[in-house]
């Protein structure tokens, strides 16, 4: 067991479960108010799982019962891609140091001749998919792949590869035609993808912690 994770048999305690899930995912109001009560009820009735991988599995199963509003709340509680990483989120992005990963991710994409940072792509994504946050399992991929993935999701032309090392950034707003209305099939599909990538990130964090 990792020192950062409480014992499995303690997970009927809401505080211990919150500590566990905050380590595997990221602390958020939705985690505390939606996921923790669900799992506490389950674990008190059925017993706690035999592994931390089982905890993640239980979270994924619990999420299938959520409303779209609850899924949205959970997703938007996750840090923005390119934001300063925690120790674990830095490690899950690859074997390089957090600084190197962030240096890769903080640079930018090209849209109609204007260059923007990941911060601006995050903004465009939130316009394209209202009430969602872009989440992806980085897994050591270079910044160009992450940028292009975001562009594809938004519906923008992909930037050339390799990306130059430095750019001036310019703000922009999204074409209204690219907005996926909340509750539309495209929006719901992307919401589910975001949620599922949270579980992928958590499984990677288990490996980082040396536990399963």
Rounded CA gap, 16 and 137, in Å? Answer: 26
pTM for the predicted model, two decimal places: 0.80
Residues 88 and 189 grouped into a single domain: yes
Residues 139 and 98 grouped into a single domain: yes
Collapsed DSSP state (helix, strand, coil) of residue 155: coil
Distances (CA, A) of 131 to 14, 36, 72, 97, 161: 27, 22, 6, 31, 30
The rounded mean pLDDT for the chain is: 82
Size of the chain, expressed as the number of residues it contains: 212
Residues 27 and 98 grouped into a single domain: no
pLDDT confidence of 116, banded at 50, 70, 90?
low
CA dihedral angle for residue 126, residue 141, residue 56, residue 13, rounded to 10 degrees = -80
212 falls within a domain: no
pLDDT value at residue 110 = 46
- In sign, the C-alpha dihedral spanning 161, 167, 132, 155 is negative
Rounded CA gap, 36 and 42, in Å? Answer: 10
1 falls within a domain: no
pLDDT value at residue 83 = 66
pLDDT value at residue 131 = 96
Domain residues for the domain of 27 are 8-66
Higher pLDDT, 42 or 104: 42
Residues 56 and 87 grouped into a single domain: no
Residues 123 and 178 grouped into a single domain: yes
Rounded CA gap, 212 and 164, in Å? Answer: 39
pLDDT value at residue 144 = 77
Looking at 16, 43, 66, the residue that finishes a domain is: 66
DSSP 114: E
Residues 91 and 49 grouped into a single domain: no
208 falls within a domain: no
Residues 106 and 174 grouped into a single domain: yes
- In sign, the C-alpha dihedral spanning 150, 156, 162, 163 is negative
- Residue 121 reports pLDDT greater than 50: yes
* Region 46-66 average pLDDT: 97
* Region 95-113 average pLDDT: 41
Rounded CA gap, 8 and 83, in Å? Answer: 31
207 falls within a domain: no
Tokens of 113: 């001749």
51 falls within a domain: yes
Which of 61-75, 111-125, 136-150, 164-178 holds the top average pLDDT? 61-75
Residues 13 and 109 grouped into a single domain: no
Structural domains counted in the chain: 2
Residues 101 and 169 grouped into a single domain: yes
């Amino acid at each position: 067991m990792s020192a950062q994770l409480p014992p499995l048999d303690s997970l009927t305690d809401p505080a211990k479960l919150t500590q566990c899930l905050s380590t595997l995912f990221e602390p958020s109001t939705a985690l505390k108010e939606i996921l923790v009560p669900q799992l506490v009820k389950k674990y008190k009735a059925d017993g706690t799982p035999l592994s931390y991988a089982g905890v993640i599995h239980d979270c994924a199963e619990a999420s299938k019962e959520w409303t779209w509003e609850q899924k949205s709340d959970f997703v938007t509680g996750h840090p923005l891609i390119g934001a300063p990483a925690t120790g674990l989120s830095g490690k899950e992005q690859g074997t390089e140091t957090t600084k190197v990963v962030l240096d890769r991710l903080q640079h930018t994409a090209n849209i109609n001749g204007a260059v923007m940072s990941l911060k601006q792509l995050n903004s465009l994504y939130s316009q394209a998919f209202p009430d969602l946050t872009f989440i992806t399992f980085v897994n050591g991929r270079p910044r160009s792949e992450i940028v292009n993935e975001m562009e594809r999701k938004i519906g923008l032309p992909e930037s050339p590869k390799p990306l130059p090392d430095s750019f001036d950034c310019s703000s922009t707003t999204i074409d209204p035609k690219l907005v996926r209305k909340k509750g539309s099939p495209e929006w719901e599909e992307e919401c589910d993808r975001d949620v599922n990538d949270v579980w992928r990130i958590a499984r990677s964090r288990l490996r980082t912690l040396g536990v399963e």
